[in-house]
Amino acid sequence: MIDLHAHSNHSDGIDSPSELVQNAKLSGIEVLAITDHDTVSGWDEAIQAAKGAGVGLVPGIEISTRAELSPERGISVHLLAYLPDPTYAPLMDRLAMVRESRVGRAQEMAQRLAEDYPISWDEILLNIKPGSTIGRPALADALVRAGVVPDRSAAFESILHRRSKYYVSERTLPTAEAISLVREAGGVPIMAHPLIDFPAGAAESDLPKEHFLSFIEAGIMGFEVDHRSVPQLAKTWLRNLAFEHNLIVTGSSDYHGVGGKENKLGENQTAPEMLERILSQAFGSEAFL
Chain residues in the site for ligand AMP (CB under 6 A)? 12, 37, 135-137, 152-153, 156, 170, 256, 261
Is 102 an interacting residue with respect to Fe ion (CB under 5 A)? no
Q: Which stretch binds Fe ion (CB under 5 A): 6-14, 92-100, 176-184, 212-220?
A: 6-14
Handedness of CA 276, 63, 136, 16 (dihedral sign): positive
Q: Quote the CA–CA distance of 92 and 273 in Å, as a whole number.
A: 29
- Other CB atoms within a 10 A radius of the CB of residue 117 amount to 18
With beta carbons less than 8 A apart as the criterion, state whether 13 and 70 touch: no
> Which among Fe ion, ligand AMP, Zn ion, none contacts residue 94 (Cβ within 5 to 8 A by kind)?
none
Q: Which stretch binds Fe ion (CB under 5 A): 75-83, 110-118, 176-184, 204-212?
A: 75-83
With CB under 5 A as the contact rule, the residue among 78, 105, 136, 235 that binds Fe ion is 78
Q: How far is the CB of 7 from Zn ion (least distance, A)?
A: 6
Q: Binders of Fe ion among 192-221, rule CB under 5 A?
A: 192
At 178 the three-state DSSP class reads helix
With CB under 5 A as the contact rule, the residue among 15, 36, 85, 254 that binds Zn ion is 254
Alpha carbon 78 to chain centroid, angstroms: 6
Nearest to 138 by CA among 127, 151, 122, 150: 127
> Which among ligand AMP, Zn ion, Fe ion, none contacts residue 261 (Cβ within 5 to 8 A by kind)?
ligand AMP
* 218-to-86, 129, 171 alpha-carbon distances in Å: 21, 35, 21
Is 224 an interacting residue with respect to Zn ion (CB under 5 A)? no
Q: Nearer Cβ to Fe ion, position 192 or 249?
A: 192
Which residues neighbour 61 within 8 Å (Cβ) at sequence distance 6 or greater? Answer: 35, 36, 37, 38, 39, 40, 80, 81, 84, 95, 187
Q: How far is the CB of 101 from Zn ion (least distance, A)?
A: 18
Using CB under 5 A as the criterion, which residues of the chain lie in contact with Zn ion when the complex forms?
A: 62, 254
Using CB under 5 A as the criterion, which residues of the chain lie in contact with Fe ion when the complex forms?
A: 12, 78, 192
